[in-house]
């Protein structure tokens, strides 16, 4: 059985060559995801933005720094979890001389989600923290959800505990301290669940694009 690094390297190569939807035309880099592939906790967002497209890394812009801060407040850091998006290329439109973020279409999401499904098979997480409604809908396989009703509560989906939470960009753009505390509380709940399940976080194995590509077994 190949190890996770080998499986991830092969998957990443397939995604790098992917032209299955039109988003490849405007991408600078695919955004595969990063962190510890053996982590019991997988964090999922919807799609890369401009900084992620430039760096090939998930959650590295303003929202990423905010997420790092929230992880820290829950006594975690990104090397202990795995962070990925449903979409592997940035959905954007050309406006004048710049590319502007846009939500992915249903069709684009459907086409691209095969890559995240494969990542989930490889990582085999016990807990998924889904950030925002689109990622939560995808992971729960539902067309409609009410985030204000399900946020902050574990929902068991097969053998995975899903914690729906708020997306850092949404909190930064529309909300404030109260919502930040909700996200921190949801991350803490995931941390506690890891302990409750008798699992732990290890920092020794890291899979990332830049500035280093380490995977120390």
The minimum distance between CB 20 and ligand SF4, in angstroms, equals: 4
- Are the beta carbons of 44 and 132 closer than 8 angstroms? no
Q: Give me the residue label for tokens 């995808």.
A: 138
Nearer to ligand SF4, 19 or 97 (CB): 19
Given the complex with ligand SF4, which of 88 and 191 has the nearer CB atom? Answer: 88
Identify the residue whose tokens are 């990582």. Answer: 123
Alpha-carbon distance values, 194 to 51, 56, 120, 125, 135 (Å): 31, 28, 17, 10, 21
Provide Rg for the chain, Cα atoms: 16
Give the separation between CA 99 and CA 19, rounded to whole angstroms: 19
Name the residue nearer to ligand SF4 (CB basis): 87 or 183: 87
Query: Cβ(44)–Cβ(131) under 8 Å?
Result: yes
CB of 155 to ligand SF4, least distance (A): 26
Question: What is the DSSP-derived secondary structure letter of residue 59?
Answer: S
Nearer to ligand SF4, 19 or 106 (CB): 19
Binding site for ligand SF4 (CB under 6 A): 15, 18-21, 23-24, 30, 87-89, 111-112
Least distance (Å) between residue 146 CB and ligand SF4: 28
Instruction: Compute the distance between CA of residue 83 and CA of residue 35 in angstroms, rounded to an integer.
Output: 6
CB of 33 to ligand SF4, least distance (A): 12
In this structure, are residues 210 and 57 in contact, taking their beta carbons and an 8 Å threshold?
A: yes
Question: Judged by CB, which is closer to ligand SF4: 50, or 155?
Answer: 50
Write down the least CB distance from residue 32 to ligand SF4, Å: 10
Q: What is the nearest approach in angstroms of ligand SF4 to the Cβ of residue 28?
A: 12
Examine residue 31 and say whether the peptide bond preceding it is cis (omega within 30 degrees of 0). Answer: no
- Comparing CB distances to ligand SF4, the nearer of 65 and 118 is 118
């Amino acid at each position: 059985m190949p190890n996770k690094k080998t499986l991830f390297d092969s998957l990443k190569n397939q995604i790098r060559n992917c032209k299955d939807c039109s988003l490849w035309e405007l991408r600078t880099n695919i955004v595969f995801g990063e962190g510890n592939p053996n982590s019991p906790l997988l964090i999922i967002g919807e799609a890369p933005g401009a900084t992620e497209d430039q760096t090939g890394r998930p959650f590295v812009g303003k929202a990423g720094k905010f997420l790092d801060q929230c992880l820290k407040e829950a006594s975690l850091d990104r090397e202990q979890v795995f962070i990925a998006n449903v979409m592997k290329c940035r959905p954007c439109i050309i406006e004048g001389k710049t590319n502007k973020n846009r939500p992915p279409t249903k069709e684009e999401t459907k086409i691209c989600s095969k890559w995240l499904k494969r990542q989930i098979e490889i990582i085999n997480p016990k807990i998924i923290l889904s950030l925002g409604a689109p990622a939560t809908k995808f992971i729960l396989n539902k067309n409609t959800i009410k985030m204000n009703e399900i946020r902050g509560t574990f929902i068991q989906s097969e053998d995975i505990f899903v914690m729906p939470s708020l997306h850092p960009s949404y909190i930064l753009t529309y909300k404030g301290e109260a919502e930040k505390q909700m996200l921190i509380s949801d991350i803490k709940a995931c941390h506690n669940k890891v302990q409750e399940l008798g699992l732990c976080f290890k920092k020794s194995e890291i899979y990332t694009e830049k500035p280093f590509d380490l995977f120390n077994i």
